[in-house]
Structures are given as structure tokens and as C-alpha cells.
Chain A
Amino acid sequence: MKLRRSMLFLPGANAAMLSTAFVYKPDSIMFDLEDAVSLREKDSARLLVFHALQLPVYRETETVVRINPLNTPFGHLDLEAAVRAGVDVVRLPKTDCAEDVELLEREVERIERACGREVGSTKLMAAIESASGVINALSIAKASPRLTGIALAGFDYVMDMQTERGDGTELFYARCAVLHAARAAKIDAFDVVWSDLNDEAGFLKEVDLIKRLGFNGKSLINPRQIELLHNAYAPTEEEVEYAGRVVAAAAEGERKGLGVVSLNGKMIDGPVIDHARRVLQRAEASGTRK
């Protein structure tokens, strides 16, 4: 069960950030070759990311590369660079339908075979950025066993919906649709970026909302947001204490061969035990909430 609360975006053309981002310890680092890179620097960013991915310091962190769409002149070259460099996850932007993921999967497999990488070792992630993508979220989420998650990308989505970012009402249906699709497909779900770095209260309010909805985490554009996010996702001391008792009771029940276990008169079943394990995992990663 990989913890994916924070996915830090890094502009692929920025040598300094690519060389140092590992120190911030997000759950995943995403090297961006798409929107954060100007057209004339696509070639140089691709090679910078190709080499940065091979730095030993990135072996401890899950690496993600956001490629350009495969129907642009850059997408296929980005994919070659990412897969050959050993990236953990390829993030496909502007995913509108399952066929987009299926094409990506075929291309990834071709490159894996060409460069001698184990077939299936490159994971995928799809970003949904349009009304069509939201409508097709379930088929997208189930399009490939390589998918680790789907993400909602807010900016393009609200443009497509002819609205703008506000209090979250404009994203409510899309968030719920993407989240339900991810859960039905048993993969992770990621929320949109929060772009106003000076509005910490707004960021935390949004994090509280998406955590309660059930998102695994959020895409981030600044390292300052990592600790805030991890703390918001950290359980309270009481939650950790209760989760510990649930896991212990489940272990005891298993030892005794009991099908159903109860704790203080309440039945503990599989989902409750899974939730308790996730609470303990978050506590182990970043302690209890401050």
C-alpha cells in the first residue's frame, strides 16, 4: 500500500530544482514536460529529466513524468526518455477516454521491449481535464492494469466547463466522479493543484475537503505545501491509539481463527481493519497531527 498524499510538480527545464527536489521528501515527485515547459525548451527539458531520473537520490522517492499528449510532436519522445530512464510512473495529460490510456500502454510496452526494461514495470497515471474525461472516468480508470491512479486537473477542466475556480462548487461533480471511478477500479485518486501560495488558509480548507471526500492526496506546485498537506492527512493521537487496538484485535482474532472480531462491543470487519492500517501508515510517515 504505497502512500501517495503529495505529488510535487517540478518544471522539467529547471536544472536547479531537478537537482535538489528530493530533499523535500514528497511521496511522489513529478517532473513536468508539459505545461511548465515552453515550446522552445521541450528538447532540453526532456534530456534534463532523462538524466535526473537516473540520479541515485531519486531511487528512494516515487518518480513521475508528465509527458506531452501523444498527439503532439513531443509526446512520443517524452515517453521514450521517461521509460528508458526508468521512471516509476508516466502521467498522461488530457485523458478523454480509455483509448488514450490503451495507446499509451501499447507505446510503453514497445519501449520497454526495445530498451530491455521489464515489461509491465512502468506504471501509468491518467489526468482528467475535460467534461469528456469526467464522463468517461470509470472506463479510463479501468483501461489498464498499469494504472496506479487518476487525477483531476482543475484549470483545463473549468475552462472546458466555461466556468472558473471558486469555492469548489465548480469542481464538485468532477471530484466525486473521478473519486468514484478510482475507488471502483481500486486505484488512487488525486486532487487538483492549489495555485495561490499566499493563501495558506484556503489551501488547508481545500485539503480538509478532499481528505473527507476520500482523495489519496493532491498535486502540489510548491515544496512549502508538502508539510502542510502531510500534517492535515496525519491522524490524531486518538485515531492512532484506536487504530492500534483495531489491528491488535484483528491479529488476535486471526490467531484464534475467528471469522468476526469485536472491539468494545463493535464488530470489526475487513474495511475497518484496512482503514486502521492506513491510519497507522500515515502516522508512521509523518507522526500525529499537530
Chain B
Amino acid sequence: MKIVKEALAGTLESSDLLVKVSPGSGTGLEVVISSEVMQQFGLQIDRVVRDTLARLGVTAGLVVVEDKGALDCAIQARVQTAVMRGAEAQTIDWSALS
């Protein structure tokens, strides 16, 4: 999936996260994460974000995540929503979302 425009998903409420995607410089994928629980769960959050992007076939763009202590399921959902909005996806490949 190709990110063609800037898009947001999520909120900055507790147990949620805000994900911002943009086409970036067009040369590769950059993921920037900040979290209230970075020290304990930073690696886990990074892994969930990158796995979710990989399953969607995102290989380029800038993904900025501001986490407020969200569970993995919320991270997956917000990243997927932001990417679909940024890619202007018209259809959903459900097998890529689980």
C-alpha cells in the first residue's frame, strides 16, 4: 500500500495513540515513536507498528506515533486506519489486517 497523502488516526486520550502518516522523502520507511511507557514497552510498540505496516505492504513514508499507553490491538487499528486514509484505499484486504 502506498502512502500518497498525509493522514491522521486516533487520539491523544489515555489508552489510545495518535498516528500520523505522510509520503515522507519517498526513499524508504521511517518510523518515529514517542510514548509515556517508552522505557518499558518501546520495543514492543515498535515491533507492533512495523509488523502492521509490513502486513499492509507499506515500504515507504514517514510514520509518527504518539502513544498514550494503548494496547496492541489499538496500535494495530490506528496504524491501519492512518495508512488506509493516507493511501486513499477504496477496498479492504481483511487477510492483511488480522
Known: A15-B74, A18-B74, A44-B81. A50 touches B97 (CB 8 A): yes
Tell me the chain A residues, 118-150 only, with Cβ under 8 Å from chain B. Answer: none
How many angstroms from the CA of A234 to the CA of B71 in the assembled complex? 35
* Chain B residues with CB under 8 A of A50: 77, 97
Q: Is the CB of A51 within 8 A of B94?
A: no
Known: A54-B98, A84-B94. A16 touches B16 (CB 8 A): yes
Tell me the chain B residues, 29-63 only, with Cβ under 8 Å from chain A. Answer: none
Q: Is residue A52 contacting chain B, with contact meaning CB distance below 8 A?
A: yes
Tell me the chain A residues, 10-69 only, with Cβ under 8 Å from chain B. Answer: 15-16, 18-20, 43-44, 47-48, 50-52, 54-55
* Chain A residues with CB under 8 A of B15: 15-16, 19-20
Tell me the chain B residues, 1-29 only, with Cβ under 8 Å from chain A. Answer: 9-11, 13-17
Q: Is the CB of A51 within 8 A of B84?
A: no
Q: Is the CB of B92 within 8 A of A51?
A: no
Q: Is the CB of A44 within 8 A of B77?
A: yes
How many angstroms from the CA of A28 to the CA of B60 in the assembled complex? 42
Is the interface on chain A under 10, 10 to 19, 20 to 34, or 35 or more residues? 10 to 19
Tell me the chain B residues, 63-98 only, with Cβ under 8 Å from chain A. Answer: 70-71, 73-74, 76-78, 80-81, 84-85, 92, 94, 97-98
Label chain A's interface by main secondary structure.
helix
Residue of A16, A54, A80, A81 near B73 (CB, 8 A) is: A54
Q: Is the CB of B74 within 8 A of A51?
A: yes
How many angstroms from the CA of A42 to the CA of B64 in the assembled complex? 22
Residue of B73, B81, B84, B98 near A19 (CB, 8 A) is: B73
How many angstroms from the CA of A115 to the CA of B9 in the assembled complex? 27
How many angstroms from the CA of A15 to the CA of B19 in the assembled complex? 13
| Nearest CB of chain A from residue B59's CB, rounded to whole Å | 21
Query: Which residue of chain B has its CB nearest to the CB of A84?
Result: B94
Q: Is residue A232 contacting chain B, with contact meaning CB distance below 8 A?
A: no
Given contacts A15-B71, A19-B74, A52-B73, 18 further A-B contacts (CB under 8 A): A15-B11, A15-B78, A16-B13, A18-B74, A19-B70, A19-B71, A20-B15, A43-B85, A44-B9, A44-B77, A44-B81, A47-B97, A48-B73, A48-B78, A50-B77, A52-B77, A54-B98, A55-B71
Residues of B within 8 A of A (CB): 9-11, 13-17, 70-71, 73-74, 76-78, 80-81, 84-85, 92, 94, 97-98
A-B contact pairs, 6 of them (CB 8 A): A16-B16, A18-B73, A19-B74, A43-B81, A47-B80, A47-B81
